[in-house]
Amino acid sequence: MQPVMRPCKRPFRTDGPGPVPTFSADPEAPMAVPKRKTSPSKRGMRRSHDRLPGSTYVEDKETGELRRPHHVDPKTGLYRGKQILTVKDED
């Protein structure tokens, strides 16, 4: 069944040409419907940038262990060369 196109119900401007640029909340207005089914290739190309980025790790200058950038080193408690946390001994 084809949607029925109705004439515009928006009021017209009195100070200039053309209709008033407003959106109506008319429930009978036709909805936007795609003409064709989106192919798996096009869908995949659209989603290609939606993935989560992988975690970044840097090598610590002091210990050589991997840690997250701009985070405290959990093994030594150092951040940018300063002691931030006290490290518990594994006794």
pLDDT tens digits, 46-70: 999 999 988 899 888 777 888 898 9
What range does the domain containing 87 cover? Answer: 56-91
- Give a yes or no: residue 19 inside a domain: no
- Give a yes or no: residue 75 inside a domain: yes
- Give a yes or no: residue 1 inside a domain: no
Helix locations, the chain, DSSP H: 40-47
CB 69 within 8 A of CB 60: no
Report the domain count for the chain.
Answer: 1
Structure tokens at 61: 């200058």
pLDDT tens digits for range 3-37:
666 666 655 555 666 665 566 667 787 888 899 99
- Give a yes or no: residue 72 inside a domain: yes
- Kind of pairing between the strands at 58-59 and 78-79: unpaired
Structure tokens at 68: 């997250």
